[in-house]
Amino acid sequence: MGDELFDQNAAEITEITEAAATAADEVVEVTGNYGVPADMPAQPFTEETAAAPAYEAPAYEAPVVPEFPSAPVETGNILNAGAEVLREIKARVLELDELKVRVGDLSEKQQQLDKEIGAKQKAMDSEISSVVTKRRAEVEKSFDETIEQTRGRLKNVKAKRDKFKGTKVDERVSAETAELNEQIRGLKQDVRGIFSREHISRIFNNNYFFTMYMPDGLGDFLIILLSVVILLALPFGVYRFLPEAAKKPIVLVAIYAGVIVLALLIFTLIFKFVKEKHAEALKQAKLLRDKIERLKKRIRKMEKSIRKDKDESQYGLEEYDEELSGLEHELDDVINRKKQALSEFENTAKKDITEEIKARFSEELERMKSENAAAYKQQAEAESKIKSLSVDISSKYETYLGKENLSVPMLDSLTDIIDKGNAKNVAEAITYYKNNLTGTV
């Protein structure tokens, strides 16, 4: 009977052996940092994961495999062996199962450590960034306050200097145009004398009167044209404020006629009783007024030239200039010291701060990395044992028993059958099990 089962399995030896080799090669490949597979999705770090204790994989102890006698030498077929071979196979299957559980535990441990290492690294980087930014801001703030104070003092001194210079320029303008201003005052007095002697009202001693009645330039004619335009627009302004009941075309015509007649009447009366009656006196007054305008133009030209003069030596600004120079030098010095302080901070203090914070985190990080490396090494060793043991089981036992008969419950059942005397060897136990399972006994 054993030979018949052997003949049935013999044809499957090559196929089963190849399948066993393929299954043995399907070992988990561990890649990435700290032994975590590259395609393992990252899990977000939370307060719960940070507070949770580090995962500890159970300590692995290889089960003791008893030394069982080999299969009978006369046949070399384990199907002819007894229960002792089944117990040996069970021990090896249990060892393989424990190794697989061990690999899973170590992989889980590495994932947990990776998350903890990432969270710790993130916390360290965040603290470094926060402390460095705060310290740099403190350095900048102290210098910026001094810079702003110095600039404020510069602004105040410049304002005082400009005000003092303005006063001195005004004094210079007044001094250098004093003679011309005196001439203007004399000419104005002469004009008033003419109006007084001729008994001409002072209300006519203005530019508009002489422009309207004695024009002598383009500017005067432009003023006359503007006056005419205003006169023509005036009726519309009056008409606009009339009640709605009074807003009729005839009313607008009447307003136009009234305004024009009134304007012509006033113009004619002034022309007849002022312009013609005092023509010679007004002509003399006009000549004097023209001379006054020429003197005013000279004064404006002189004032413009004085204010544009770049030579400030005559204004006594040395004290202000000396103070401004000192403040500008002080401002440049503070700015340069700020740049130097920031440079020293970047080159020295920043590194010291970074190293100090890293030192506080390094012990914990190194411990977790060491644990991770150890777990990775243990996983690699366990996977190597799995591969070796899988090949050994497949090549020695699976080719005879079949994969379906290599489970622990099945091996226990076959062992029990032999121990109870229902079968003499493995082959008979398998047959007995199948007959009882199918209900053929």
Q: How far apart are CA 174 and CA 176, in angstroms?
A: 6
Domain termination site, one of 320, 341, 371? 320
pLDDT for 284: 94
Higher pLDDT, 238 or 66: 238
pLDDT for 216: 86
Asked whether residue 247 falls in the same domain as residue 123, the answer is no
Mind spelling out the 3-state secondary structure of the chain? CHHHHHHHHHCCHHHHHHHHHHHHHCCCCCCCHHHCCCCCCCCCCCHHHHHCCCCCCCCCCCCCCCCCCCCCCCCCCHHHCCHHHHHHHHHHHHHHHHHHHHHHHHHHHHHHHHHHHHHHHHHHHHHHHHHHHHHHHHHHHHHHHHHHHHHHHHHHHHHHHHHHHHHHHHHHHHHHCHHHHHHHHHHHHHHHHHHHHCCCCHHHCCHHHHHHHCCCCHHHHHHHHHHHHHHHHHHHHHHHCCCHHHCCHHHHHHHHHHHHHHHHHHHHHHHHHHHHCCHHHHHHHHHHHHHHHHHHHHHHHHHHHHHHCCCCHHHCCHHHHHHHHHHHHHHHHHHHHHHHHHHHHHHHHHHHHHHHHHHHHHHHHHHHHHHHHHHHHHHHHHHHHHHHHHHHHHHHHHHHHCHHHCCHHHHHHHHHHHHCCCCCCHHHHHHHHHHHHHCCC
Asked whether residue 356 falls in the same domain as residue 316, the answer is no
pLDDT for 24: 37
Tell me the pLDDT band of 336, cut-offs 50, 70 and 90.
very high
155 within a domain of the structure (yes/no): no
Average pLDDT over residues 87-111: 87
191 within a domain of the structure (yes/no): yes
Asked whether residue 128 falls in the same domain as residue 183, the answer is no
pLDDT for 411: 87
Asked whether residue 135 falls in the same domain as residue 54, the answer is yes
Q: What token pair was written down for 136?
A: 């740099």
Q: Let me know: does 327 contact 157? Beta carbons within 8 Å.
A: yes
Asked whether residue 182 falls in the same domain as residue 91, the answer is no
Average pLDDT over residues 20-35: 36
Asked whether residue 316 falls in the same domain as residue 356, the answer is no
Tell me the pLDDT band of 358, cut-offs 50, 70 and 90.
confident
Asked whether residue 196 falls in the same domain as residue 300, the answer is yes
101 within a domain of the structure (yes/no): yes
Q: How far apart are CA 214 and CA 283, in angstroms?
A: 9
Of 164, 121, 430, which Cα lies nearest the Cα of 319?
164
In whole numbers, what is the pLDDT of the chain averaged over residues?
A: 80
Asked whether residue 9 falls in the same domain as residue 126, the answer is yes
Domain termination site, one of 320, 344, 370? 320
pLDDT for 61: 46
- pTM of the full predicted structure? 0.49
In Å, how far are 66, 96, 100, 387, 438 from 394, measured between CA atoms?
19, 12, 16, 11, 27
- Candidate from 27-41, 228-242, 281-295, 393-407 with smallest mean pLDDT: 27-41
pLDDT for 17: 37
Domain termination site, one of 305, 320, 335? 320
Asked whether residue 24 falls in the same domain as residue 137, the answer is yes
Q: Let me know: does 364 contact 173? Beta carbons within 8 Å.
A: no
- 72 pLDDT above the threshold of 70: no
Question: What is the residue range of 134's domain?
Answer: 2-141+352-438
- 71 pLDDT above the threshold of 90: no
- 60 pLDDT above the threshold of 60: no
Q: How far apart are CA 408 and CA 412, in angstroms?
A: 6
Tell me the pLDDT band of 199, cut-offs 50, 70 and 90.
very high
148 within a domain of the structure (yes/no): no
Distance of CA 97 to the CA centre of its chain: 53
Asked whether residue 283 falls in the same domain as residue 393, the answer is no
259 within a domain of the structure (yes/no): yes
pLDDT for 437: 60
Asked whether residue 11 falls in the same domain as residue 137, the answer is yes
Number of domains in the chain: 2
Count Cβ atoms below 10 Å from residue 392 Cβ, excluding itself. 14
pLDDT for 204: 92
156 within a domain of the structure (yes/no): no
Tell me the pLDDT band of 76, cut-offs 50, 70 and 90.
low
154 within a domain of the structure (yes/no): no
Answer positive or negative: Cα dihedral of 244, 250, 253, 258: negative
pLDDT for 280: 93
Asked whether residue 133 falls in the same domain as residue 10, the answer is yes
Q: How far apart are CA 56 and CA 375, in angstroms?
A: 10
In Å, how far are 45, 303, 361, 373 from 367, measured between CA atoms?
19, 85, 10, 10
Count Cβ atoms below 10 Å from residue 381 Cβ, excluding itself. 15
255 within a domain of the structure (yes/no): yes
Angle made by CA atoms 12, 17, 22, in degrees to the nearest 5 = 130
Average pLDDT over residues 72-99: 77
pLDDT for 167: 93
pLDDT, tens digit, for every residue of 150-175? 999 999 999 999 999 999 999 999 99
Q: How far apart are CA 188 and CA 334, in angstroms?
A: 60
